[in-house]
């Protein structure tokens, strides 16, 4: 039985559009009626996730996320996907306020990475400053039996610039910012590198990245399709 998928989007808008396209592209379907029913809330005015984490002021963003989740539940969604890694810092609290499950992209990405690695192996994490400093990937990776590794401040600044100035800002992305970070993580012995930001997902689909990368959005696309009762391709 097919189940309606709810999506809290707008973080950012291009990543949400890309997530929707990927759901369509990877759903086994021969006609319109074979695709998933979805409700997308493109909440572009959502408060900045990194700013909320770093400042410690969570009230406004929690209220917004909880309202969106409740709205999706009211509109008949059976479960919720949130194509924004940084927002997952708040989702355990949001989950307590709704009666339908929220698919946990961070947790599932850590589990996927662990399946492709040796136990205790090193996995690189590339994302926003908020995602990195929140420790959400560190926690989930260690629970999955692998050791997270992040990049130093100068390389993190390049990743932050790629996310905010290039992809979110609509500029031509400078791929060297990502490649420099990947080179560092490979030198540190990382077997896999999780692209823990949906803007990095957008970039890698357009430009291509190393085979070492595991895209968290790819994981969420697969989990969302399967949870909705469709077949993934």
pLDDT in tens, 98-119: 999 999 999 999 999 999 889 9
Specify the pLDDT at position 205.
81
3-state secondary structure of 187: helix
Determine, yes or no, domain membership for 94: yes
End-to-end CA distance of the chain: 18
Q: Is 61 left (phi over 0), alpha (psi -120 to 50) or beta?
A: alpha
**What domain range includes position 13?**
5-104+219-227
Pair 116, 201 in one domain? yes
Q: How many domains does the chain have?
A: 2
Pair 198, 118 in one domain? yes
CATH of the domain at 48: 3.40.50.1860
Pair 131, 191 in one domain? yes
pTM of the model: 0.93
Please list the ranges in the chain whose pLDDT falls under 50.
none
Active-site residue set? 84, 197
Q: What's the whole-number average pLDDT of the chain? A: 95
Determine, yes or no, domain membership for 205: yes
Determine, yes or no, domain membership for 232: no
Determine, yes or no, domain membership for 76: yes
Specify the pLDDT at position 172.
87
Pair 130, 189 in one domain? yes
Q: What are the beta bridge partners of residue 8? A: 41
Pair 110, 203 in one domain? yes
Determine, yes or no, domain membership for 233: no
Specify the pLDDT at position 209.
67
Pair 70, 157 in one domain? no
Determine, yes or no, domain membership for 93: yes
């Amino acid at each position: 039985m097919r189940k309606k998928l709810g999506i809290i989007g707008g973080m950012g808008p291009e990543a949400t559009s890309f997530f929707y396209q990927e759901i369509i592209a990877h759903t086994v379907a021969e006609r319109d009626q074979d695709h998933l029913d979805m409700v997308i809330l493109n909440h572009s005015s959502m408060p900045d996730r990194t700013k909320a984490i770093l400042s410690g002021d969570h009230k406004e963003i929690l209220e917004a996320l909880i309202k969106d989740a409740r709205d999706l539940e009211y509109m008949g969604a059976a479960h919720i996907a949130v194509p924004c890694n940084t927002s997952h810092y708040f989702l355990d609290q949001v989950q307590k306020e709704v009666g339908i499950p929220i698919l946990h992209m961070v947790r599932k990405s850590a589990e996927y990475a662990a399946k492709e690695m040796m136990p205790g192996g090193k996995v690189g994490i590339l994302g926003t400053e908020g995602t990195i400093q929140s420790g959400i990937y560190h926690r989930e990776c260690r629970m999955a039996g692998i050791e997270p590794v992040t990049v130093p401040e100068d390389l993190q600044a390049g990743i932050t610039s790629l996310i905010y100035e290039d992809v979110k800002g609509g500029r031509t992305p400078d791929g060297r910012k990502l490649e420099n970070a990947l080179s560092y993580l490979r030198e540190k012995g990382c077997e896999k590198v999780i692209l823990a930001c949906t803007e990095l997902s957008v970039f890698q689909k357009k430009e291509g990245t190393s085979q070492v990368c595991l895209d968290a959005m790819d994981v969420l696309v697969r989990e969302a399709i399967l949870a909705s009762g469709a077949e993934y391709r």
